[in-house]
Amino acid sequence: MPSLKEVRVRIASVKSTRQITSAMKMVAASKLRRAQNAIMTMRPYAAKLQEIMQNLSGSLDGSDEGIFGQDRGDNKVLLIPITSNRGLCGAFNANVIKETNHLLEGTYANQYKAGNVDFMCIGKKSADAFKKDGYNVVATHIDIFNDLSFEAVVEIAESLMADFAAKKYDKIILVYNQFKNAAVQILQTEQFLPVVPEETESEDGNVANYIFEPNKEDILEALVPKSIKVTLYKALLDSFAAEHGARMTAMHKATENADELVKELNLTYNKARQAAITKEILEIVGGAEALKG
């Protein structure tokens, strides 16, 4: 059994850790509220923009789908894992890194063996992981979450669009955590480029038909780049909110575990203290009996 001093030191250490995890939980909860409001506000706008674009692109001929809708196969691929800059958020980062590695070993195994898979890492954790493993990381964006704004995301999106238009990449894939609630994050693998048009049908199964002014092609030409930028911004907002939800949940669990550990250590301390007292009493009684003899 450990000494009383050792148990006291351990109790003090666990209580100090509990104060830290409790404070981190409250900070994460505060940041989560702002991040959650941002993504919940963005989703209806992004969904409606996507719906309009699908109504337009779904009825166009393949030759008129635009540069960002061209399906050139997947010979050259860019993977964009989106993680956080810091840890202490459960499996949030590990899940993204694991899924990205799964894509390399499965879907894009041939392209990877041929040296045709590059990485753009958003978040320090993904950048550190893939650089350490020797992958071809062509760009990193670590400071983006310090001040997550649409203007900053537009610069990244325009760079990606330029690379795709120049045929540097045939396919660009996002891997990130989608925010559902504070305790649940949904891992997403989403094709960023080329844009995949989907036919929008009415309830009776007929393709939706609208009158567009000036014309569908001109509207689509202006709408597609905007939709692409919004898609990336939404993915980053999702990941940002999911990160704080995961951290709040992890710190809540860590605080609960610290509470349980303090209870166990207090019980151990009391048992050790009681045993020491009992031993002293027995020694005193034994000494008194010896004097009587």
Q: 135 falls in which pLDDT band (50, 70, 90)?
A: very high
Q: Residue 146, class by beta-carbon neighbours within 10 Å (0-12 exposed, 13-18 middle, 19+ buried)?
A: exposed
Percent of the chain with pLDDT over 70: 90
Compare 216 and 113 and report the one with higher pLDDT: 113
Residue 144: partners with Cβ closer than 8 Å, 6 or more residues away: 122, 152, 153, 156, 236
**How distant is the alpha carbon of residue 282 from its chain centre?**
61
Mean pLDDT confidence for 102-109: 94
Residue corresponding to tokens 């409790």: 22
pLDDT over 90 (residue 289): no
Q: 293 falls in which pLDDT band (50, 70, 90)?
A: low
Whether 269 and 42 have beta carbons less than 8 Å apart is answered as no
DSSP for residue 169: -
The domains of the chain are located at 21-199+208-251
3-state secondary structure 200-265: CECCCCCECCCCCCCCHHHHHHHHHHHHHHHHHHHHHHHHHHHHHHHHHHHHHHHHHHHHHHHHHH
| Fold exhibited by the domain 21-199+208-251 | Pyruvate Kinase; Chain: A, domain 1 (3.40.1380)
Q: How crowded is residue 140: how many other Cβ atoms within 10 Å of its Cβ? A: 18
Report the C-alpha gap between 192 and 43 in whole angstroms.
16
**CA separation, residue 240 to residues 60, 142, 223 (Å):** 35, 13, 26
pLDDT score recorded for residue 34: 93
**β-strands 137-141, 117-122 pairing:** parallel
Mean pLDDT confidence for 199-228: 70
Report the C-alpha gap between 173 and 190 in whole angstroms.
6
Q: 189 falls in which pLDDT band (50, 70, 90)?
A: very high
Residue corresponding to tokens 């993915």: 235
pLDDT over 80 (residue 268): yes
- Name the pTM for this structure: 0.86
Q: Which of 35, 89, 174, 182 is catalytic?
A: 89
pLDDT score recorded for residue 287: 82
Compare 49 and 217 and report the one with higher pLDDT: 49
Catalytic site includes residue 89: yes
Compare 208 and 66 and report the one with higher pLDDT: 66
pLDDT score recorded for residue 63: 44
Q: 90 falls in which pLDDT band (50, 70, 90)?
A: very high
- Round the average pLDDT of the chain to a whole number and report it: 88
pLDDT score recorded for residue 1: 62
